[in-house]
Structure 1
Amino acid sequence: MDADLARFLRDELGHAPEAGAGPWPESWNVRGPVWLWQGSDGAPTKGAWYFLTIDGETAQAIRAGAVNAAAWGSVYVEATVGGTTWRTSLFPSKAHGGWLLPLKAAVRKAEKIVDGTEVEAVLVLA
């Protein structure tokens, strides 16, 4: 993993998700712009990491529904954007008060997503 990305994730991580009491929906719809993470020097990094921010009530509901935290307090999800579905992890973010959904290159290519593209994602805890 890119050292700058590892530092970024360490700085961004909030507390590990806590198990909570339901009920919560089987899935959440999240809409927002995709953004490109900039390295510590403000320039795009070699790996070009893109994220969708999940905040507000949806972030709280995911935190309440997540019973199995993974590395760095991340939560396993199945995500769908457009016609593409994949398994990934949401990373907690102190700066955004919620979660970050990474969008890998194969997803961005299949769905023609670039920095600033408004997307809708459907998330299901995995």
Structure 2
Amino acid sequence: MIIEFDGEVFRWDAREDSSWFFTSVPPELSEEIREIPRPYRGFGSVRVRARVGGSEWTTSIFPSSGSGSYVLPLKKAVRTAEDLIDGGPVTVRLEVLDG
């Protein structure tokens, strides 16, 4: 399964000194991902290949508590290479590897 979406970069604010940044997979696409049969992985994570601009990497998306959406972590190397900033836009292509 391959999905594409536009999102917004946000900083994980559970701790003041957090340097973790994410974007949310839209709820309707998150629901489609949840429906894919697959073995359970820790924290309900789903393995994906992500692409933002010219950057591609393998990672996992995680269910976000309360929102019903998955979140994609955006590592610093990707944020730097693609000029992503907190609150800024991001266009994502995800290939779901689990399932």
- What TM-score comes out, normalization by structure 2 length? 0.89
Size of the aligned set, in residue pairs, is 97
State the secondary structure of the residue aligned to 1:39: coil
Distance 2:32 2:88 in 1: 25
1:110 to partner: Cα distance: 0.7
Highest relative contact order (Cα 8 Å, sep 6+), 1 or 2? 2
1:69 to partner: Cα distance: 3.3
Letter in 1 for 2:69: G
Distance 1:105 1:66 in 2: 31
Distance 2:44 2:20 in 1: 19
Where in structure 2 are there 5+ consecutive unaligned residues?
none
Aligned identity (percent) is 37
Distance 1:52 1:66 in 2: 24
1:68 to partner: Cα distance: 3.4
Q: Does 1:53 align with 2:8?
A: no
- Structure with greater proportional helix content: 1
Q: 2:41 aligns with which of 48, 61, 70?
A: 70
Contact 1:81–1:122 (CA under 8 A) maintained in structure 2: yes
- What TM-score comes out, normalization by structure 1 length? 0.71
Counterpart for residue 113 of structure 1: 84
Letter in 1 for 2:25: I
Q: Would you identify which runs of 4 or more consecutive aligned residues in structure 1 move more than 4 Å?
A: none
Q: Does 1:32 align with 2:7?
A: yes
1:70 to partner: Cα distance: 2.1
1:66 to partner: Cα distance: 5.1
